[in-house]
Amino acid sequence: MYRNSQEFLKTRLKDEHFNKLNKICNPYVEKFLAEHISLCNPADIFICDGSNEDINYIKEQAIITGEEKKLKISGHTVHFDGYDDQARDKENTKFLVPKDIYFDPNLNKIDREEGLREIKSIMKDIMQGHTMYILFFCLGPTNSIFSIPCIQITDSPYVAHSEILLYRQGYKEFQNMKNQESFFKFVHSEGELENGVSKNIDKRRIYIDLEEDIVYSANTQYGGNTIGLKKLAMRLAIKRGSKEGWLTEHMFLMGVLGPNNRKTYFTGAFPSLCGKTSTSMLPGEKIVGDDISYLRVKNDKVYAVNVEKGMFGIVGGIKEKDAPILWKVLNTPNEIIFSNILVTEDNLPFWEGKGEVPEKGFNYSGEWYKGKKDKQGKEIPPSHKNARFTLSLEILPNVDENLHNPDGVEVGGIIYGGRDSDTSVPVEESFDWTHGIITKGASLESETTAATLGKVGVRKFNPMSNLDFLSISIGKYIENNLKFGEKAKKLPKIFSVNYFLKDENGNFLNDKADKSVWIKWMELRCHNDVDALKIPTGYIPLYEDLKKLFKHILDKEYKEEDYVKQFTLRIPENLARIDRIINIYKTKVPDTPEILFKVLTDQKRRLEDARAKYGDYVSPFKFIS
């Protein structure tokens, strides 16, 4: 047959594309591509070298094939996924694990040999009649200790275009790698199409091979299943970071401006619908990234980078008043891909919260009109609740100048936040790194909303907001975070925030704009510019400091009674949470580090002592010595 991969590739690639590959001159790249070209058997192959010419060709193909359609505003396009292909397929996202390897029972897995047989059977000749696009990217800034080169294979120009917006080009990185094999690999096919969308949803599979650093994705178009470098790559990076001693976290990265033009960088982990994007996009601050960060220790300090250079965000709920920067960007000429929104009769995107709902339009269900129902009799909303926008961060006016800094940025603070109606105060600092990782990160819970489960207030355990993306055991993941803190002499402070605290009548105790005050207080604490009040669960702001900040930032009078309501220590609820968390770790996480139980038990004892002295609900002023 063929003596080597290069000989095979020469028969399948046109000269110009073979020459592009030859400039990389890496036998591991050639072997990987040869195997998967042979497996998927495309009609044509296009290799993107990152040039403007190649990128523009892919964008044109997205329009020509109908995977994207142009909208009225210049640069805006829309993509529709199939009606039953609107979200991450958790059930069919599985790790390929050898039989003799222990793997966390909390994680979805399949025997590696069985999984490879199945996925390769599904992908055999799956690209017949399709063009295969081969793209080279870099996770993290290029030419950096944070860099991870990646290859994406896909037959969807929409997926290729999305990744061009979201990730840094990596063709030159591969040229500099030579004979190294330390790159991530992603193989995606949308499969057979019917009316322009993936037909064989019953054969939708997303399989992750940690041994070979390969992710397979078949018979799906939705970005969360197909944009390999996003959450799929995150699983590969968590495994690699665990071996090498650095962290892959589900965290935004932002610069917060302090006194005298000082800037302090924060990372933050929040579950969905808890204020993650709105925090990273706070007016007056700088955004580095909204979703995923790599953290490393260098020179005895913690540094971070944004893994991406773009944003794949939920568009629903974006309003001019609440998100002025994103609102303006999404309504002016920019290169943006909208997905699964409603296209109005005048060819503009409409999403939930944009304004008055049109009478009719076109969406992922086809022609749409008010009151339209699906086969099950359920009313179809104009824009899907998971409708998205994809854009490059460079078009944002508040993008930070260090977005592409190969050295990363020094992290001053780490924030954990969840949806919590009755327990945590709006903002609190941990006592130290270990206390923060355990009581703020590893104990993170978030309440569901009626929109997601039809039942309000169900608390979902989600350590570090990363549970869905772990590729190692929960216990090992927590241990990695704890040990990471032992490597640096100067550690970031760790905070928790809660934007969803309510009073006894169910009314929110915080305004949406208040988060600007909490973040400024955290910035001051990172430099010890203000004192704090010690309570059994951490450090909270002093009233006088918040009073000044509310006046300075929001021009708002901050009443003492509001401070008391917001920062009253709710002891019964805090004790109940500790009991819930301890029970989860004791019953479901067999490799939990013992220090976790000690730290939580110590916190329980402090709370019980405070209850014995002050009662169940304690005003912050009671703790002033």
Annotated active-site residue in 40, 138, 274, 526: 274
Helices (H), 41-156: 52-64, 112-123
Give the whole-angstrom CA distance, residue 563 versus residue 546: 9
Position of tokens 């000690």?
Answer: 598
- Angle (CA) 377-378-380 rounded to 5° is 125
CA trace torsion 209, 213, 218, 221 (10° rounding): 130
- Annotated active-site residue 150? The verdict is no
DSSP 170-215: -HHHHHHHTT----EEEEEE--SEETTEES-GGG-EEEEETTTTEE
List for the chain the helix, strand, coil content (%; round to 5). 35, 25, 40
Position of tokens 């704890």?
Answer: 482
What sign does the dihedral 291-258-420-625 (CA atoms) show? Answer: positive
Give the whole-angstrom CA distance, residue 315 versus residue 353: 9
Q: Residues 262-293, buried b or exposed e (16+ Cβ, 10 A)?
A: ebbbbbbbbbbbbbbbbbbbbeebbbbbbbbb
* Residue at 93: amino acid letter: T
Would you give the end-to-end CA distance of the chain in angstroms?
Answer: 83
Give the whole-angstrom CA distance, residue 84 versus residue 362: 17
Position of tokens 């007016």?
Answer: 283
What are φ and ψ of residue 618, in 5° steps?
-120, 120
Give the whole-angstrom CA distance, residue 618 versus residue 571: 8
CB-based contacts of 369, cutoff 8 Å, min separation 6: 359, 360
Give me the active site residues, please. Answer: 274
